Chain A
Amino acid sequence: MSSVPASVTRLIEALSELPGIGPKTASRLTYFLLRGQSDLPLRLAESLRDLKERTRFCSVCHTITEQDPCPICSDPHRDHALLCVVEEPLDVLAIERTEQYLGVYHVLHGALSPMEGIFAENLRIPDLLRRVREGGVQEVILATNPTSEGDYTAAYLLSKLGPLNVRVTRLGRGLPMGGDLEYADQVTLASALERRQEL
């Protein structure tokens, strides 16, 4: 009974499978693409194809890359003795944007959360331990998120890295720039006080 062309319904259905997008938003996006005069639909199609065909995970650090090993892992100017452990590939980008970090990375692809069915064996943890055991790494920075899952993962990694003769550090925790002391939550404020610095 539907008079809408199949190519349109197919796109709507595909878009609604994305997180946070319902059928309503999916139709709106579809009709936007349909009406627009630009080459946006073609550019989108091309990038989507590339995403699937040209990107893969780096065999060393497991971040998203087009070449393997990724540009960071194959850069001889970076400090390969300094290893930063993050949950997701996007966290690598966030740290890279600071332009302060010259070490390399290890992406876990998640954080421990048994409730959601994520256990140590589902993360790139054995591979991290192998990298450290192989030698050359002097410091591991645990940069998992400051959430209960991130803290849990960091504590678990510490228990595994502890015996491996490597320095283990955790990303500092404190007050956000431009924040207001009055509105800071108690946990953050307490931790900022605890880790205050000599000026």
Chain B
Amino acid sequence: MHIRSLSLENFRNYVRLEQELPDRAVLLCGSNAQGKTSLLEAVYYLATSGSPLSANDRQLINWTAKKEGMAHIRLRAEVVQREQVREISIVLLLEPDTQGRQRLKRRVLIDQAPRKRRDLAGELNVVLFLPQDVELVTGSPAGRRRYLDDTLSQIDARYSAAQGTYTNALRQRNALLRHLAEQGGDPGQLEPLDGQLARSGVAISLARRRLINALSQHAHRTHGELSGGKEWLQMVYQPNFDLTRPPGIVCQTSFQESPGPPQGISDQDLVAAFRQQLRERRREEVERGMTLSGPHRDEMRFMIEKMDLGVYGSRGQQRTAVLALKIAQLAWMKQETGTSPVLLLDEVLAELDQHRREFLLAQVDQVEQALLTATDLEMFSPSFRQRATLLWVEKGLIQPYER
């Protein structure tokens, strides 16, 4: 798939942008702080309805627009997939809620019809690679869970729905546990929430397991090639509630490639097992006022042999692992959807050596469209620059690049 045209309104430093994009590599050149990364951020937002860089959507509103009371953002893309064009747009609007407080409302439209967030699945798929993505290996488990969620939600509306249900049930349940701890009340109120949590939690955990297994296989191969066959990477899923083992047995680490749940166990059995565990830990949960088991505590580790890269890996090894992960994501999305996602690369070449650079740029030639940002064009070979479309980004405006 590729984006035919992109338009942004009041997003970061773009007051208004209308940009046609070709189905090939696009090099966005310019100095720092001109809007190169923001363009990739906007495309990622259209694909996932969330920013990879900011947890608070209000920060995305153009500063001047906000000052003048024009408090809305409009993102729109025309996406070509299998010779069909679909228009995706997301509008963020400051509106007073019933209490009169200003809230940022998000509206998702596909071909101008209002849709739910989860309906974005499959409309625009992207693989984003930022310089700070090395934190996926070194940073907190929450960052890795967010990565898994964003990746799965992009192509699977049911995952997106399960995740929404899970998050809501978890918040309600934690609030109820706190209340039961402080003021008491009927613990029976937990039961329906346990059911919601278990059903959506099992769906999340199964999908994450499948994804990590697939990514690990792809990344294993790529990483072997990148390291000249010297090192072999594996990604290991460490679910907080392990569906492959009966509840009660806590498994801290498993270095084997995570297998699926044992044969002959239905989803209903898994849900029942999850509920059983919730029931067994209820007293402890009420005491601590929070939910202690479930996918909100899942972990994924990057391993070489038996070494945890996040803890013991060198910076170079960690970078190579992230590169292998992103290339694996690209291959996985292609395999799942039958179409290549849009590749978004933000200044990542600077961090890589010649060999890895060439490897990554070879991937760019494999996809329909890639958007790359660069402050230094010298990093790209003359033949690559010749093949690519060059655009000049300055102060939120885009012009053809004068070669």
Interface of A toward B, CB cutoff 8 Å: 16, 19-22, 112-115, 117, 119-121, 148, 151-152, 155-156, 159-160, 183, 185-187
B161 lies within 8 A of A187 (CB): yes
B188 and A183 contact, CB distance less than 8 A: no
Contact of B186 among A120, A151, A185, A186 (CB under 8 A): A120
9-residue interface stretch from B17-25, B170-178, B298-306: B170-178
Contact yes or no, A156 B172, CB < 8 A = no
Contact call A152/B172, Cβ cutoff below 8 A? yes
Which residues in A have their C-beta under 8 angstroms from that of B179? 114, 117, 119
A121 and B184 alpha carbons, distance in the complex (Å)? 10
Contacts of B161 in A (CB 8 A): 186-187
Is there contact, CB below 8 Å, between A156 and B96?
Answer: no
* B185 sits at the interface (CB 8 A): yes
Assess the A160–B99 pair: CB atoms within 8 A.
no
A120 to B192 alpha-carbon distance, docked (Å):
13
Q: Is B140 an interface residue (CB 8 A)?
A: no
From B96, B113, B172, B176, give the contact of A22 (CB < 8 A). B96
Asked whether, in the complex, the Cβ of B195 is within 8 Å of the Cβ of A160, the reply is no
Give CA–CA (A20, B169) in the complex, Å: 28
A117 to B113, CA, bound (A): 35
When the two chains form their complex, are residues B157 and A21 in contact, meaning their CB atoms are under 8 A apart? no
Binding site secondary structure of chain A: helix
Q: Is the CB of B189 within 8 A of A119?
A: yes
Q: Would you list 28 pairs from A and B whose C-beta atoms are within 8 A, ordered by A residue?
A: A19-B98, A19-B99, A20-B100, A114-B172, A114-B173, A114-B175, A114-B179, A115-B171, A119-B176, A119-B179, A119-B185, A120-B185, A120-B189, A121-B186, A148-B168, A148-B169, A152-B172, A152-B192, A152-B193, A155-B191, A155-B192, A156-B189, A156-B192, A183-B113, A185-B119, A186-B116, A186-B118, A186-B161
Interface of B toward A, CB cutoff 8 Å? 96, 98-100, 113, 115-116, 118-119, 157, 161, 165, 168-169, 171-173, 175-176, 179, 185-186, 188-189, 191-193, 195-196
Min C-beta distance of B312 to chain A, whole Å: 41
B192, A22: Cβ atoms under 8 Å? no
User: Known interface pairs A21-B100, A156-B191. Does A113 touch B185 (Cβ–Cβ under 8 Å)?
Assistant: no
List 20 other contacts, CB 8 Å, given A22-B96, A114-B179: A16-B100, A19-B98, A19-B99, A22-B100, A113-B172, A114-B176, A115-B171, A120-B185, A120-B188, A121-B185, A148-B169, A148-B196, A155-B192, A156-B189, A156-B191, A159-B188, A185-B115, A185-B116, A186-B118, A186-B119
**A121 (CB) vs chain B CBs: closest residue:** B185
> Contact: A148 with B192, CB < 8 Å?
no
Minimal beta-carbon separation of A141 from chain B (angstroms): 18
For A21, the closest partner residue in chain B by CB is: B100
Enumerate chain B residues within 8 angstroms of A185, measured Cβ to Cβ: 115-116, 119
A28 CA / B43 CA spacing, docked (Å) = 42
